[in-house]
Amino acid sequence: MYEHRNRWFINIMCDILEVSETGYYRYVRSLDNPGKKDEVLSATMREVINESPFNDNYGIERMILALAQRGIKVGKRRATRIMRENGWLHERRRRPFGLTKATTEIQEQENLIKQNFHSNEPYQKLLTDISQVVCCDGKLYISPIMDCFNGEILSLLMRDNMRRELCIDTFKAAANRFPIAGATLHSDRGSQYTSEDFKSALACHNVSQSLSGVGHCYDNARMESFFATLKKELLYRMKKEQVKKIIFRYVFAYYNRIRIYTSNPEGLPPAAYRRKMEEDQLLAA
């Protein structure tokens, strides 16, 4: 009786999925075959990569998290082997050795972050910096502000110059959209960030300033990591207007909302993690 009901259920499912019973049983038998299992897993990995044109830069850890979000558990060794066999692995670029310089006592006191990029609450610890992209018709300067809580980019502006107004307007854009009063904003010691106009903008919104030590690139490593990701996963040598459109689409449509973020629980994208935290707080209230 049980076998008859099971067969009836399989018939119904095959009709719904528009597959033959023969094909179904062939698939079930293939699950006991390691080679077939790898084919199924490889096909799922390909789906992950094809979800976005930017996903082709996914590494092992990000791929494992993406599979876990689909309910598939896979070991690092197996995932590495399959990705290598399919040519989905990218060689790790050699990291340059940065120069370090002695930091004065005053600079130590002004560095409130001290390379601690973790935050338990949103809008408390922010990072910013400027980076340039070389286009075929000149340089484009990018100015974002990142929330250390979930890695979300709160604001981002791009211009043909790197004057202090670029940084001030980036900060004001974040302050107008998010409740960042009482936050700490960390940057390097560029003239834009040490200018009186920039400091005045921070003071108006009750935001404390934190500054890296001179020559200490690791003092703002998380922001530098974002720029490295942005440049690695986008194309170079395009016109600036093209770069602007692609960067905005990448940051606000993909990076904040879709891209697996390994620092967040379950690899949740920044915006998804923030929404989950806000929902949890509402339920707890």
Domain boundaries along the sequence of the chain: 2-85, 107-284
d(CA 108, CA 114): 8
CATH superfamily of 107-284: Ribonuclease H-like superfamily/Ribonuclease H (3.30.420.10)
Q: Among 39-48, 160-169, 251-260, 273-282, where is mean pLDDT lowest?
A: 39-48
Task: Using alpha carbons, list the distances in angstroms from residue 126 to 35, 96, 101, 216.
Answer: 47, 25, 25, 18
State what percent of residues in the chain have pLDDT above 90. Answer: 48
d(CA 175, CA 263): 25
pLDDT (tens digit per residue) in 183-212: 999 999 999 999 999 999 999 999 999 999
pTM assigned to the model? 0.65
Mean pLDDT for the stretch of residues 28-51: 77
d(CA 270, CA 8): 45
> 131: which DSSP letter?
E
Inter-residue contact 229 to 256 (CB < 8 Å):
no
pLDDT (tens digit per residue) in 60-105: 999 999 999 888 888 999 999 988 888 888 765 555 444 444 456 6
Inter-residue contact 213 to 107 (CB < 8 Å):
yes
211-242 core/surface letters (b: 16 or more CB in 10 A; e: else): bbbeebeebbbbbbebbeebbebbeeebebee
